[in-house]
Structure 1
Amino acid sequence: MPQPITHIIGAGLAGLACAVELAASGRRVTLHEAAGQAGGRCRSFHDPLLDRLIDNGNHLLLGANHHALAYLDRIGGRAALESPDRVEMPFHDLANGESWVLRPGDGPGWIFNPASRVPGTRWWDYLRPLTLPFHGQRARVADVLAMDSPIGRRLWHPLTVSILNTAPADASAPLLWSVFRRTLLKGPAACRPYIAGPSGLSGAFIDPALAWLRARDVTIHFGHRLRGLTIQDGRVTALDFSAGPLGLGPEDRVVLAVPASTAAELLPGLTVPLDHGAILNAHFRLPAPVPSLPPFIGLVGGVAEWLFRRGDVLSVTVSAADRWMDQPSDELREILWADIARLLQTPNAPCPPCRIIKERRAGFAATPANAARRPGSQVKGLNNLVLAGDWTDTGLPATIEGAVLSGQRAARLVRT
């Protein structure tokens, strides 16, 4: 009797993580991806304008991201990440030129050391986030943390926007707490940053996973778009792909690891987050590397929010960037280069070649209303289908960790 197959729809991080978990347990897996490549919003490509490998978006992993790191360890991808020798987060204020380094230490003692804090802040300012979980599920970050204070402008605002991809006035306080309690409150090991090395995000998260899966005879189909599901008697009986229908055996399972909007189209009546946030990324190829810059740095007082250095390419990220999506790329390039030039103290330097990447639907907007619409992994009334994706109710915002966690959770459900 042939072994049942689990059909995973979507080869983003959630789908790949699910496939890896199932294949590791000896399950038979087929992976279907609508696009011509895997990775979704977490991948690398060669840009002809810059003649460099760049990522479609910048991502920062932390030591607290245990599910993502376990996934990387299983597929052999962690070696493609880089981490600084010291656990610290550098910042620079573009408005006044001041720089500082946040150094989370063991236990709460680090907040008493002015050298480890944001300039102009007091140790008791760092206690306010401890009240985030006590304001209810509908509380917004700005209801709890004062954004017009020095620590608000220089730390809580940039962290909120980058973690939740949502402005503090709209962002869910419980979702921010879910990250803070895993990182800032857990000491330096939990806060250790990891960024993509020369091989990019694909070299860490995607290419090793595909090679690992193929080595275990996992079938992978690209250009395989799912157009519909045939449902009878509480189970999916057939998958309608663009290449034609595929019938399922009585013990076959389906994992929908697709965007929320796609899942809602395939499963009418499914409640999913409705609103999404945009992210703007800009990649600049400089005439030569700038080794004096740290591998990444947080920026305040300008438009650019985070800057990542990889060789002679400087990449800038702006989160919650809906207001910039209709701005012409040429104008965005000049605006963001002005911020970088101020950081480099070369205000008259001409703008180098630049690639602007706009992700209009980079992840669900982490508002209280949207958080309440996140479904669980199981779909009521369907006993052979589960959901995966960072938009499902993982307890985390739309992050790499959330995506991987959702895929691993879906795999556990398939195995039961």
Structure 2
Amino acid sequence: MTPHVAVIGGGLSGLTAACELADAGLRVTVLESRGRLGGATFSFQRDGLTVDNGQHVLLRCCTEYQALLRRLGTEDGVDIQRRFRMPILTAAGEVTELARTGGPAPLHLAAGLARYGALPPLDRLRVFRAAAALRLLDPADPRLDEHSFGDWLARHGQNEATLRALWNLISVAALNCEAGEASLALAAMVFRTALLDTADAADIGVPRLPLEELHVRPAEKYLLARDADVRTNSPVREIGRDGEAFDLRLDGERLRADAVVVAVPPEAAARICPAEAGLSAERVGGLGAAPIVNVHVVYERPVTDLPFAATVDSPVQWIFDRTDVAGLSGGQYLAISLSAAHTWLHTPVSAMREVFLAELGRLLPRAATTPHTRFFVTRERRATFRQRPGTARLRPRPETPVPGLVLAGSWTATGWPDTMEGAVRSGHRAAELVATGIRGGAA
């Protein structure tokens, strides 16, 4: 009889694991507690717009996520730059940029940084020195995770100006926290992998399809075509053992499986896994949570020609043109992405409207004179875990002491930050462990 694998959780890590297990010829059941798939990356409809719950981007170095899209046939749904170029709006109302040349790493960034208008020349030299030292760090060294990136930067000559205009600009976007709060190990991984080690790694990819069309529905279609059972509104309350197999308790039902992939958030995983898995609530609770807030504005007419831009010294962190992706036929739809958004998590929408409409008008002069037709806010209170020092020892490996029970999720020990790429990598590894274990058991 074909072995049966239950994948608990229909987010990106669970869908990745399920697709690979189905391709391996195993019988797969996906059990999602909510009424939709997608986990932390999903789309919804609002006033005729298709809205993603957050603005998710990828870099060329996110190879596993791109491989998933190739598997699903949606790789063309992402536009990746030929060369890294990040437009940046400054407090003075000017547009500068960080960009790379066609040269080898790390020289590919030298010319762009030398012209970076958000920093005076002396501070650009400070950045060069710190970047050279950063290349010498090994992100896999567990000692790095005990220190903050901000402390390391201070020891290497960085000042408030370089923090605001460069290090925090990237740290907040990639790690959902400022440099002073970030794990040095994770920061070293981000800066080395994306910017310093390989010339084209940081080329930015922006989806031109809603997430629902990019990987959620395609993954469901892919699984159904391989006879997988995909079930929403099916929360798993407990995972028990039944001899060599597993007994999953659902509401009013029990399901038997030969192996289980637990691809749910950390607190839920600790709640449903057997004690032998070693996943205590105290351990995963130490990971904490960090929010991301998105501000959505629709204008009567286009107010910028930029597809996206970052900002310096502004409450607006990133702006993305979502007009075509959302299906808007007239005007322009801009989404403001706010990471490390503790300040805005409980701020009333009326107050945010006052702040961000004024700020968009300052940064984009046409926005100041163009009426808006819609303004709304979406908030992900637990968008990522808090990627601070000491979290590496809290992130569990995918294999557990229970044979056949594996973990998946961007919060597990992937070596990557809490991102879509980390989620896909975790799902890939979980499927690999399960398939290997089943083959070994059959032998």
Match in the other structure for 1:239: 248
2:377 equivalent among 356, 363, 383: 356
Residue identity opposite 2:418 in structure 1: A
Match in the other structure for 2:166: 155
2:289 equivalent among 276, 280, 296: 276
**Aligned alpha-carbon RMSD (Å):** 2.0
Matches within 5 A, 1:372-383: 372-380=393-401, 382-383=402-403
Task: Name structure 1 gaps, 5 residues minimum.
Answer: none
Residue identity opposite 1:344 in structure 2: L
Residue identity opposite 1:362 in structure 2: A
Is the aligned partner of 1:226 residue 2:236? Answer: yes
Matches within 5 A, 1:13-412: 13-48=12-47, 51-93=48-90, 95-105=91-101, 106-113=104-111, 117-119=115-117, 120=120, 121-122=124-125, 123-130=128-135, 132-133=137-138, 136-146=144-154, 148-197=159-208, 199-231=209-241, 237-248=246-257, 252-267=258-273, 268=275, 269-270=278-279, 271-272=283-284, 273-290=286-303, 292-293=305-306, 295-311=307-323, 312-345=332-365, 346-347=367-368, 349-380=370-401, 382-412=402-432
Q: State the secondary structure of the residue aligned to 1:403.
A: helix
Residue identity opposite 1:157 in structure 2: N
Paired with 1:103 and 1:285, the residues of 2 have a C-alpha distance of 29
Q: State the secondary structure of the residue aligned to 2:93.
A: coil
Q: What is the TM-score of this pair, normalised by structure 2?
A: 0.86
Task: Name structure 2 gaps, 5 residues minimum.
Answer: 324-331, 437-443
Pairwise CA distance, 1:116? 6.0
Residue identity opposite 1:110 in structure 2: H
Alignment CA distance shift 1:225-1:112 (3 Å)? closer
Q: Deviations over 1:155-175 (max 9, x none)?
A: 110111111112222110101
Q: State the secondary structure of the residue aligned to 2:391.
A: helix
Q: Deviations over 1:289-334 (max 9, x none)?
A: 34522x2111121111111112221001111112221111221232
> Does the CA contact (< 8 Å) of 1:118 and 1:151 recur in 2?
no
Q: What is the TM-score of this pair, normalised by structure 1?
A: 0.92
More displaced 10-residue stretch of structure 1: 22-31 or 399-408: 22-31
> Does the CA contact (< 8 Å) of 1:274 and 1:370 recur in 2?
yes
Alignment length, in residue pairs? 405
Pairwise CA distance, 1:132? 4.7
> Does the CA contact (< 8 Å) of 1:29 and 1:219 recur in 2?
yes
Write 1 or 2 for the structure with the bigger share of helix.
2
Q: State the secondary structure of the residue aligned to 2:403.
A: coil
> Does the CA contact (< 8 Å) of 1:396 and 1:402 recur in 2?
yes
Q: State the secondary structure of the residue aligned to 1:353.
A: strand
Q: State the secondary structure of the residue aligned to 1:224.
A: coil
Q: State the secondary structure of the residue aligned to 1:371.
A: coil
Paired with 2:342 and 2:92, the residues of 1 have a C-alpha distance of 26
- Percent identity for Structure 1 against Structure 2: 34
Alignment CA distance shift 1:321-1:114 (3 Å)? closer
